[in-house]
């Protein structure tokens, strides 16, 4: 396939691996965090770490929207469906994220009183809007998740619902922001005080950056002296970004570089940014799984659109819920542990029966390791 196969070429990958090995200094280690779940998936799927020299280490970051969703937010959606007679619409991965009392949206679907409500999987925000339009007697709530990539479509349906006067449509907004999460990691005790997560730089998100541009990362490069290289999601994109990071570290530079020039500009998509700021504003604080409460790290719907804000419409009260004690998702999302450090990995916890959010989405570190790397890990342990 044109424009895809070129970025998966094995010979070029081997050439890049040789260049990284040649350029990485033997007298030091390099630790880079791939922020985004899309990169985690690509690294696991194409065996990128197997091609890197032992002193170049990749650390998984928290950029998987399903993984960072705290239990309390899913509980809100389940409460709406089971107790308020609401039809919840959301993306497939969200349906399986574990919530309180061993429930998930998928399990709760079996308990819903179907004469009043439902829990449905949809492919896009506009599917939820179409349902509300087609069945005006049904109260429809779109359970919206995601980073800056999925926020503009949510803004669009909220605007559209207001324009059409669709009184039975609202959004339970869980949209979160990438720069705030990167700040939280760089300010975390593990990075600053204890040095248990040595970070030499970031592979910056691909799709998110098409919307926000490369400019927001300049702060991290300047303030924290950490290089950032924005990369596409194909394996050669990732390898080229790693090579660029190695070079920056070797040369003592901390800059924002853009490997993904075919889609990302410094300014990003101004039209999408304008749309988002018209409909959303910053929340003072938002709970992330793994990172805890992170100030100004998420969006809420502006008062102008309150009629389509499920939190305002149903007077929802958020309650924080602790994660399953045996699940290490929190530590994995902060880069402190690896999936195989969790006792439940590939035993009790599998993609068919996820115990934590990192095993749900294919972008989750545990799911990616289970699908593409568990046998290698077992071999290493056995050796
Ligand atoms: S393997 Fe399962 S239980 Fe363990 S950290 Fe990953 S998601 Fe959580």
Which tokens belong to 231?
């990369």
Q: Tell me what pLDDT residue 119 has.
A: 98
CATH number of 71-177+268-313: 3.40.50.11740
**Considering the chain, what percentage of its residues have pLDDT values greater than 90?**
85
Segment 130-156 shows an average pLDDT of 97
- CA dist., res. 145 & res. 174, Å (int): 5
Collapsing DSSP states into helix, strand and coil, what is residue 373?
Answer: coil
Q: Which of the four pLDDT bands, split at 50, 70 and 90, describes residue 1?
A: low
Q: Which of 330, 335, 356, 336 is nearest to 344 (CA)?
A: 356
CATH class label, 5-64+180-258: alpha beta
Q: Tell me what pLDDT residue 296 has.
A: 95
How crowded is the C-beta side of 156, counted as CA atoms within 13 Å? 13
- The CA 327 to ligand 1 mean position distance, Å, reads 5
Residues of each domain in the chain carrying CATH 3.40.50.11740: 71-177+268-313
Out of 104, 322, 334, 355, give the residue to mutate to test ligand 1, the one with the largest number of ligand atoms within 8 Å of its CB.
Answer: 355
- The rounded radius of gyration (Å) of the Cα atoms in the chain is 21
Give, using CA atoms, the residue closest to atom 6 of ligand 1. 366
Q: Tell me what pLDDT residue 137 has.
A: 96
Which tokens belong to 98?
């574990």
Q: Tell me what pLDDT residue 350 has.
A: 94
- What residue ranges line ligand 1, CB within 6 angstroms? 327-329, 332, 339, 342, 344-345, 349, 354-356, 358-359, 366
Backbone angles phi, psi at 114, to 5 degrees: -65, -15
Buried b (16+ CB within 10 A) or exposed e, 160-186: bbeeeebebbbbbbbbbbbbbbbbbbb
Residues of each domain in the chain carrying CATH 3.40.50.11750: 5-64+180-258
- The CA 359 to ligand 1 mean position distance, Å, reads 6
- The CA 343 to ligand 1 mean position distance, Å, reads 8
Segment 207-223 shows an average pLDDT of 95
Taking the CA of residue 357 as reference, the ligand 1 atom at the shortest distance is 7
Which tokens belong to 255?
């800059």
Least confident of 121-125, 203-207, 375-379: 375-379
Q: Tell me what pLDDT residue 377 has.
A: 53
Residues in the chain, overall count = 383
- The CA 325 to ligand 1 mean position distance, Å, reads 10
CA 367 from centroid of its chain's CA atoms: 13
Taking the CA of residue 345 as reference, the ligand 1 atom at the shortest distance is 1
Q: Tell me what pLDDT residue 98 has.
A: 92
- The CA 351 to ligand 1 mean position distance, Å, reads 10
Q: Tell me what pLDDT residue 363 has.
A: 86
Is the predicted pLDDT of residue 378 greater than 70, yes or no?
Answer: no
Beta partners for residue 201, in sequence order: 32
Is the predicted pLDDT of residue 382 greater than 50, yes or no?
Answer: no
Q: Which residues contact 154 (CB under 8 A, 6 or more apart)?
A: 125, 142, 144, 146, 171, 173, 175, 279
Give, using CA atoms, the residue closest to atom 1 of ligand 1. 345
- CA dist., res. 232 & res. 207, Å (int): 8
Out of 346, 354, 373, give the residue to mutate to test ligand 1, the one with the largest number of ligand atoms within 8 Å of its CB.
Answer: 354
Q: Which of the four pLDDT bands, split at 50, 70 and 90, describes residue 379?
A: very low
- The CA 257 to ligand 1 mean position distance, Å, reads 33
- The CA 60 to ligand 1 mean position distance, Å, reads 14
Out of 334, 337, 344, 363, give the residue to mutate to test ligand 1, the one with the largest number of ligand atoms within 8 Å of its CB.
Answer: 344
Place of tokens 């922020």: 35
**Considering the chain, what percentage of its residues have pLDDT values greater than 70?**
97
Give, using CA atoms, the residue closest to atom 3 of ligand 1. 327
Place of tokens 């429930």: 103
Q: Tell me what pLDDT residue 376 has.
A: 56
Q: Tell me what pLDDT residue 383 has.
A: 38
Out of 62, 70, 289, 328, give the residue to mutate to test ligand 1, the one with the largest number of ligand atoms within 8 Å of its CB.
Answer: 328
Phi-psi region of 90 (alpha: psi -120 to 50; beta: other; left: phi over 0): beta
Q: Tell me what pLDDT residue 375 has.
A: 54
Give, using CA atoms, the residue closest to atom 7 of ligand 1. 356
Q: Which of 187-196, 279-288, 330-339 is predicted most confidently?
A: 279-288
- The CA 316 to ligand 1 mean position distance, Å, reads 29
Taking the CA of residue 365 as reference, the ligand 1 atom at the shortest distance is 6
- The CA 302 to ligand 1 mean position distance, Å, reads 36
Q: Which residues contact 143 (CB under 8 A, 6 or more apart)?
A: 77, 88, 89, 90, 94, 105, 172, 174
How does the average pLDDT of the chain come out, rounded? 93
Which tokens belong to 328?
């290490």
Q: Which residues contact 201 (CB under 8 A, 6 or more apart)?
A: 32, 33, 226, 227, 228, 229, 245, 248, 249, 254
Q: Which of 90-99, 167-176, 290-299 is predicted most confidently?
A: 167-176
């Amino acid at each position: 396939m044109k424009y895809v196969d070129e970025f998966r070429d094995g010979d070029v990958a081997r050439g890049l691996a040789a260049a990284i090995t040649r350029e990485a200094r033997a007298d030091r280690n390099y630790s880079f965090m791939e922020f985004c779940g899309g990169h985690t998936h690509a690294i696991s799927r194409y065996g990128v770490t197997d091609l890197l020299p032992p002193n170049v280490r990749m650390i998984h970051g928290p950029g998987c929207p399903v993984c960072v969703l705290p239990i309390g937010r899913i509980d809100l959606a389940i409460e709406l469906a089971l107790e308020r007679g609401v039809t919840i619409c959301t993306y497939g991965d969200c349906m399986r994220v574990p919530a309180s009392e061993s429930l998930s949206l998928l399990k709760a679907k079996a308990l819903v009183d179907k004469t009043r409500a439902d829990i449905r999987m949809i492919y896009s925000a506009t599917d939820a809007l179409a349902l509300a339009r087609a069945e005006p007697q049904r109260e429809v709530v779109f359970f919206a998740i995601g980073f800056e990539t999925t926020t503009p479509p949510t803004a669009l349906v909220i605007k559209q619902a207001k324009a059409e006067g669709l009184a039975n449509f609202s959004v339970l907004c869980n949209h979160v922001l990438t720069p705030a999460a990167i700040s939280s990691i760089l300010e975390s005790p593990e990075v600053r005080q204890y040095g248990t997560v040595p970070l030499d730089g970031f592979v910056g998100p691909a799709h998110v950056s098409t919307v926000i541009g490369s400019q927001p990362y300049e702060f991290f490069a300047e303030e924290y002296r950490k290089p950032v290289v924005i990369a596409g999601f194909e394996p050669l994109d990732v390898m080229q970004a790693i090579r660029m990071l190695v070079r920056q570290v070797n040369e003592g530079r901390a800059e924002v570089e853009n490997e993904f020039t075919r889609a990302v500009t410094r300014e990003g998509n101004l039209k999408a940014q304008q749309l988002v700021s018209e409909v959303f504003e910053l929340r003072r604080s938002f709970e992330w799984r793994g990172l805890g409460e992170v100030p100004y790290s998420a969006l809420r719907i502006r008062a102008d659109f309150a009629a389509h804000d499920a939190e305002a419409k149903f007077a929802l009260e958020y309650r924080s819920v602790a994660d399953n004690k045996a699940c290490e998702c929190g530590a994995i999302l902060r880069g402190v542990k690896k999936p195989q450090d969790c006792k439940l990995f590939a035993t009790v916890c599998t993609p068919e029966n996820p115990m934590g959010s990192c095993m749900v989405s294919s972008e989750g570190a545990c799911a990616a390791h289970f699908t593409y790397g568990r046998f290698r890990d077992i071999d290493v342990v056995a050796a």
